Amino acid sequence: MNYGFEDWFGIRSEVQYSFSNGGGTGMKRVVSPNAKFERFDDTYTNQGIAIPILLHFSFPLRRIRPYADGGLYSQFNLNTTEERVYQNESLNATYNIPQGTMASTNALSFTMMMNFGIEVPYGSRFSYFVEAKWQPYMTAIAKSDQKQLTMKGIAISAGFLF
């Protein structure tokens, strides 16, 4: 939804369902026969409802409106899961983390959001858009092994504004 103060400036807000995933490889000291560091693979997923509130700057041309947005992105984290599998399969029975909900998930996380796009007006009150979004997470979603789980991303979106 856009609320314009001027033809070129306004506030934009929307409600989004967010699903993101990521992973990484790490090392952890385990008490195996040799008490050494072992390599593992982590996989994380996060689902949430997000509400960005953005300042909207547009550049009105005849048939299209290039624009840039920037502002605060708030996300209510609904479900975050974690799974850990050791590359040395004999350790998985003792040290792995089976896929499950992370107990240390923060209910709310924040980030900044920047969008660049093109809007195509349809009538006097509606428009279509295509945009690129960039979201660097500023607050932790959850914690695991004294690590903070944060996610950042780039997305391409298309939709309908009213």
Q: Answer with the residue of higher pLDDT: 139 or 58.
A: 58
Contact between 69 and 54 (Cβ < 8 Å) = yes
pLDDT of amino acid 54: 95
As a whole number of angstroms, the distance between CA 80 and CA 65 comes to: 37
As a whole number of angstroms, the distance between CA 99 and CA 85 comes to: 10
CATH for the stretch 2-161: 2.40.160
CA 113 to chain centre: 10
pLDDT of amino acid 32: 61
Banded model confidence at residue 76, pLDDT cuts 50, 70, 90: very high
Mean pLDDT of 54-83: 91
Q: Answer with the residue of higher pLDDT: 15 or 152.
A: 15
pLDDT of amino acid 49: 95
pLDDT at 92 over 80: no
As a whole number of angstroms, the distance between CA 98 and CA 20 comes to: 19
As a whole number of angstroms, the distance between CA 141 and CA 148 comes to: 7
Banded model confidence at residue 42, pLDDT cuts 50, 70, 90: confident
pLDDT of amino acid 3: 75
pLDDT at 8 over 90: no
Domain ranges across the chain: 2-161
pLDDT of amino acid 95: 73
Whether the CA torsion 160, 134, 66, 72 is positive or negative: it is: positive
pLDDT of amino acid 145: 65
- What is the number of helices (H) and of strands (E) in the chain? 1, 11
Dihedral class, residue 89 (left if φ above 0, else alpha if ψ from -120 to 50, else beta)? alpha
Q: Answer with the residue of higher pLDDT: 53 or 60.
A: 53
Cβ of 35: how many Cβ atoms within 10 Å?
A: 8
Q: Looking at the whole model, is its pTM more than 0.75? A: no
